[in-house]
Structure 1
Amino acid sequence: MSDRRFKLPSFGRSRPAPDAPPMFRFNAERGQIVAEVVARASETLEGREVETLLVDAAYLETKRLQERPDSEEAREKLPSWRDLARRIPRMGDGERARALDGLVREHAQDVAGNFDPRVYHLASKILPVALTAAIAPGTLVSQALGRGGLMDRITVESDHLEALRALSRKATLVVTPTHLSNLDSIVLGFALDREGLPPMTYGAGKNLFSNPLISFFMHNLGAYRVDRRIKHELYKHVLKTYSTVILERGYHSIFFPGGTRSRSGSVESKVKLGLLGTGIEAFTRNLRARKSSPLVVYVPTSINFLLTLEAESLIEDYLKEAGKARYIIEDDEFSRADRWLSLISGLMRLKSAVYIRFGQPLDPFGNAVLADGRSVDPRGREVDPASYVLRSSEPVVDALRDAEYTRQLGQTLVDHFARETVLLSTHICARVLFEKLGAAFPDADLFQRLRLHGQLVVPRDEVVAGMDALRSRLVALEDQGKLRVGRVVRQARPAELLERALLAWRDYHGPHAAAEWREGQVALGDLELLYYYQNRLSVFGRHLGASS
């Protein structure tokens, strides 16, 4: 399916108010942004071997397109890449420079997003009501009164919301969430709007722009296109340059530092550093330009689902060790309307089904940032973030130095992800049942256990007791600041938590439920799904003991 850009007609648009969020002026600046990206990317490539960059691009793109020669993209682009590959050895310096500039411009145009305030208002105000009403028509009146809708199932927790609102007016925010589902950017967008935080731009896989369910919104809500199939260095350079330029211009952004959805269901323990480091460069360039609001502030964020839309496809991909081969899954539940409706229907029956936690704001060097924009170190002493990038009293972009800062920032985010993760009833129930599976078949390895479908039934009281004991340990860890548990997990009786988990799995996963009631006992069902949901606790193994 084509990923052409679906836009509303331009009539009826008005100029954004002076105090409107930065994204409202994006389209007016889009041409300037693309031009600046092209100029900056070409400038920073000076001194590089142009022929090497061109050969790398032509070789890798030709190889990629030849893998699917009958695709529309291959028919359109493969001849030109082959032609470029043939011409490179005979090109003079000027012709090579023009070819490089053309590729940079083409990539910059393709990457750059589009933002329509009308679509933003439609998506944030009307779409949640319409979705809820379609699934539960009886909620329409209660939604009109401001309650009972899908948004009520999204719980936002943070000790820093007031600080974030203040910082959004004096710094550029980079929200860095954990990544479980392609729904993450959608629910995060709803949460930002509801909590009085501005709309943000974000990088999204190019395959999502052709998704029939959301392509219109992807093309109009500021997302920039990231084609993860393209591996050559020039494209990556354009992406990083684009990210740097929009941060310099004050566009709040969302980065998923894990790079892709967690296939296993676990919390990220490693992050990708490429785009993450663009905030450091943007901050340095802002200082060099003497901008009044140079600071870039990172916001570690956790997104936690009672149920994950694509759980079945993701864990299958993980267990086949095909994550690298199928880095982009184009045929999962995200493209199926029936799975969306089933998930939303299940979530509507359960309160607090999605938790989003905004963590401590950080400067690019991992120091906490206060509401007034000051940075403080772990001992509470004020530090000047500009001091990290000065050389002879002047701010300087230094790739090697900044790579180390980015690595340290990445580790800091990983630490915050664990502390901000919210554990829910499906995670706890799955952990207890998976431990029971291990105890019942101690000599089997993981893959042998996952083939034991239908071979274990656990007495209800054993499961309830196990969930009660695990809940107590998790609450103790929450009191130590190691993690978070959902409000229902903390307050409900263990038997209610078991009922909630089994109900959620039944309503969404149906015959593939991770576990189900059977004659008053708990029968283990789809063991791959059970493994997926219990993996949310894997990052806390050193506190809980390794899962069997």
Structure 2
Amino acid sequence: MKENKKVYQHIEDDLHKWPIYEISKNRSSFIERLVNHTYRKLHHKYNNDFEDVLEKTIYQERIRIKRKPWRVDPPNEEAFWNRMKVRLGKAKRFKSKKKLREFERRSVYRIIQRYSDEIVGSFVPKTFLFARKFLTGLFNILLGENLLKKFWKIWGRKDHLHNALKVYGDIDKVRSLARKGTVILLPTHFSNLDSILIGYVLDTKVGIPAFSYGAGLNLYNFGPAAYFMNRLGAYRVDRRKKNPIYLETLKAMSTLSIKSGVNNLFFPGGTRSRSGKSEEQFKLGLMNTIIEAQRDICLEGKEQNIYIIPLILDYHFVLEAKSLIRQHLTIEGKQKYTSIKDLGKSKRKIFKFLWEFYSKSSEIVCSFGEPMDFIGNSIDDEGRSIDRHGKVITISDYFSTHDKIGADVQRESEYTKILAEKVIERFKRDNVILSSHMIAYLAFEIFHQYFPSIDVYGLLRMPLSDFYIPKHYFLDKMDDFKRLLMGMEDDGALRLSSIFECSSDVILEDGIEKIGLYHSRTPLRMTSDDFLVSDDLELLYYYHNRISMYQFKNIFTTKDQRLLQNILQEEE
């Protein structure tokens, strides 16, 4: 698929007209709506009996404060929950059941207010404009071209940066839908950079008003990060809190934000991929708020559509890759995995890292998937939902029983699962394979062919000296693999970056140059005598995993196995 190189004008230049600013401007009013909406949901869910949910919430919160205190926690946090416990104990002595129920209702309402005030962020246009300029500098540093020669230009220069931030997909349609309704972006998640990267691309290349997104409350422990996120439309998510009142408030925040016309972004996988693979299982809680919002819109008789757009991020390097893959191997491998101690970084390696950081360039791909409605139906150019036969669908019919629109928890749960399946499918089909993905996958698979009876954990324990692949053989296999990938692209199973229009030699050179660019130990490199070797098999495995979801078959034949065994014997 061809890269979309166009840089679009903003569909709305005035930040004060963005829906996210409207919510921020009327923050107190929005919080009041959020509190009332959450209370009604809990009232219906627990049939106005809050005794158990209140006790559970107070208990869990007091445990959280003792075991996992954070600097960002309010100074009166412990006192508040201790006071709630004491008051609940006294209330249970009421002779009147009615008085006890009234106390429980007021307590739940008060807790919702506290959570709502914590969750809802704000959006300050001046801070957004500053962040726009600051991020231009940051991404120029990460992706810029030989900045040692022109460091002073990083804060304003965008031409090379726009070339390095590559966009694929039907952006004209995405922009059109952003004018017609509310856009929900569901991205893959690999790095802590993802949120700011997506926000920057949407703002400077795609030209869409800012998205609301959930930011982990732990990030607010760092003062500068807290300052900016508090003012850039992020709402706070405290993953320590698992009690039903908090979770319902968080879901209500998403639902009301969507209903208010604010574009939303959330990572359906919930957290960064530890293995390097894109998500194949989703957290369905927040995704369900999409369904709830669309149902409420239909109930209110509004003509407001919600559009789902999968977004697949592709990196040649992930800064946190080493720690992520070790976490994955520790969890999945258990006793099979033995972490090899990092021998540290020599002064030469540190200098090498700094030199490459400032002197080399890379690229990041944002691939926008096929837009869909709340249940995964296709969207036509007019923003209407259509079935597989091209027939226009009436959205409200999905929420109707005997011609009456209403909530149905079981039905909407199934809708959420259907949507998740459709998004996972688009994560595969709209993924753009980079040169580094190809060579990492092929190199690790060839290494596995050397020792076919050894599992992954055994391979990772092998001496690095056992990893060597002759360049001529690797290029032959690249030709075969490239033909396979191009055939899959023709079938719509994946997307290929523009580098695949070049020869295998060029693809290999590009991949070697960019794979794991900023790691002190190189996942894959070429020796002077034309052998591919690895300085870090764990990193190579991480980057290999990026396209392992396709489960490629018939890459190797019996002839390959004989050739590889001959290579092993020759080296021995």
Cα deviation, residue 127, structure 1: 3.1
Q: 1:367 to 1:343 in 2, by over 3 A?
A: farther
Instruction: Give runs of aligned pairs for residues 322-471 of structure 1, distance below 5 A.
Output: 346=357, 349-350=360-361, 353-454=363-464, 455-471=466-482
Any idea what the Cα deviations from partners look like across 1:488-509, whole Å, max 9, x if unmatched?
A: 1x12322232232332246411
Partner of 2:113: 105
Contact 1:65 1:74 in 2 (8 A): no
Is the Cα–Cα contact under 8 Å of residues 433 and 524 in structure 1 kept in the other structure?
Answer: no
Please state how far the C-alpha of 1:515 moved relative to its aligned partner.
2.1
1:121 maps to 2:96: no
* Residue number in structure 2 paired with 1:35: 32
Q: Quick check: 1:307 aligned with 2:317?
A: yes
Opposite residue 113 of structure 1, the aligned amino acid is G
1:63: which partner in 2?
63
The CA deviation string for residues 241-285 of structure 1, in whole angstroms up to 9 with x for no partner, is: 111111111011012111111111101111111111112211121
Could you say what secondary structure the match of 2:407 adopts? coil
Residue 570 of structure 2: aligned partner: none
Q: Which residue of 2 aligns with 1:8?
A: none
Q: Is this contact kept in 1: 2:278–2:546, CA < 8 A? A: yes
TM-aligned CA distance change 1:346 to 1:494, over 3 Å: farther
Partner SS for 1:31 = helix
> In structure 2, do the counterparts of structure 1 residues 345 and 128 end up closer, same or farther at CA, with 3 Å as the change threshold?
farther
Q: How does 1:286-297 map to 2 (within 5 A)?
A: 286-291=297-302, 293-297=303-307
Confirm or deny: 8 A CA contact 1:265 1:533 kept in the other structure: yes
Moved more, 42-51 or 405-414: 42-51
What percentage of residue pairs aligned between the two structures are identical?
30
The equivalent residue for 2:291 is: 280
Whole-angstrom CA distance in 2 between matches of 1:143 and 1:78: 44
CA contact (8 A) 1:41 1:104 kept: yes
Distance 2:174 2:72 in 1: 44
Show structure 2 runs of 5+ residues with no match.
1-12, 92-99, 335-348, 562-572
CA distance in 2, matches of 1:393, 1:17: 42
Which of 463, 483, 486 aligns to 2:494? It is: 483
Distance 2:438 2:86 in 1: 58
| C-alpha distance in 2 between matches for 1:322 and 1:114 | 39
Partner residue in 2 for 1:498: 508
- Report the Cα offset of residue 180 of structure 1: 1.0
Aligned to 1:327: none
8 Å CA contact retained: 1:153, 1:348: no
Q: 1:298 to 1:71 in 2, by over 3 A?
A: closer
Q: CA deviation at 1:416?
A: 0.8
Q: Deviations over 1:308-331 (max 9, x none)?
A: 12111111111111899xxxxxxx
- In 1, the alpha carbon distance for the partners of 2:389 and 2:409 equals 29
Instruction: Flag the 1:458–1:61 CA change in 2: closer, same or farther, 3 A.
Output: same
Q: Which amino acid aligns with 1:192?
A: L
CA distance in 1, matches of 2:539, 2:224: 25
The amino acid of 1:380's aligned partner reads G
Question: Relative to structure 1, is the Cα distance of residues 190 and 236 closer, same or farther in structure 2, using a 3 angstrom cutoff?
Answer: same
Instruction: Find 2:140's aligned residue among 125, 132, 136.
Output: 132
Paired residue for 2:235?
Answer: 224
2:106 counterpart letter in structure 1: R
Structure 2 CA distance for aligned equivalents of residues 300 and 163 of structure 1: 13
Shift of 1:226: 0.9
Structural RMSD (CA): 3.0
Which among 189, 194, 205 is matched to residue 179 of structure 1?
189
Judge conservation of contact 2:316–2:515 (CA < 8 Å) in 1. no
1:344 and 1:250 mapped to 2: Cα distance?
A: 46
The CA distance in 1 between the partners of 2:250 and 2:120, in whole Å, is: 9
Instruction: Specify the alignment match of 2:174 in structure 1.
Output: 164
C-alpha offsets along residues 17-55 of structure 1, whole Å, 9 cap, x if unaligned? Answer: 598322232311221111111001111111513111112
Whole-angstrom CA distance in 2 between matches of 1:142 and 1:109: 38
What residue identity is the alignment partner of 1:147? D
Code of the aligned partner of 1:216: Y
Match of 1:199 among 207, 210, 227: 210
Alignment of 1:220-259 (within 5 A): 220-259=231-270
SS where residue 266 of structure 1 aligns? coil
Deviation at 1:435, TM superposition (A): 1.1
Select between 179-188 and 118-127 the one with higher mean Cα deviation: 118-127
Amino acid in the other structure paired with 1:63: I
Structure showing greater Rg: 2
Q: What TM-score do you get using the length of structure 1 for normalisation? A: 0.86
Amino acid at match of 1:412: K
AA aligned opposite 1:37: L
1:238, 1:57 → 2: CA distance?
Answer: 13
1:446 CA drift (Å): 1.5
Distance in 1, Cα, partners of 2:364 & 2:451: 34
How many residues of Structure 1 are paired with residues of Structure 2 in the alignment?
A: 512
Residues 268 and 22 of structure 1: is their aligned pair in 2 closer, same or farther, counting only changes over 3 Å?
Answer: same
**Shift of the alpha carbon at 1:545?**
7.2
Deviations 1:151-173 (A, max 9, x none): 321111112x2222122122111
Please give the alpha-carbon distance, in whole angstroms, between the structure 1 residues aligned to 2:456 and 2:333.
18
Query: Alignment partner of 1:256: what SS?
Result: coil
- SS of equivalent to 1:274: helix
Does the 8 Å contact 2:291/2:412 carry over to 1?
yes
> 2:3 is matched with which residue?
none
8 Å CA contact 1:431, 1:534 repeated in 2:
yes
- Unpaired runs of 5+ residues, structure 1, are 1-15, 325-337
Contact 1:164 1:371 in 2 (8 A): no
TM-score (norm 2): 0.82
Task: Report the secondary structure of 1:383's partner residue.
Answer: coil
Residue 4 of structure 1 aligns with which residue?
none
Distance 2:74 2:235 in 1: 22
Q: Deviations over 1:398-441 (max 9, x none)?
A: 22211111111111111111101111122111111111221222
The superposition leaves residues 208-239 of structure 1 with CA deviations (integer Å, 9 ceiling, x where unpaired) of: 23345643332221111111121111111001
Q: Is the 8 A contact 1:202 1:254 kept in 2?
A: yes
Residues 421 and 518 (structure 1), Cα distance of their counterparts in 2 relative to 1, 3 Å cut: same
How much has 1:144 moved relative to structure 2? 5.8
- Rounded to whole Å, the distance in 2 between the matches of 1:122 and 1:295 is 32
Q: How many angstroms apart in 2 are the aligned matches of 1:158 and 1:343?
A: 34
Residues 430 and 211 of structure 1: CA distance in aligned 2, closer, same or farther (over 3 Å): farther
* Compared CA separation, residues 465 and 60, structure 1 to 2 (3 A): farther
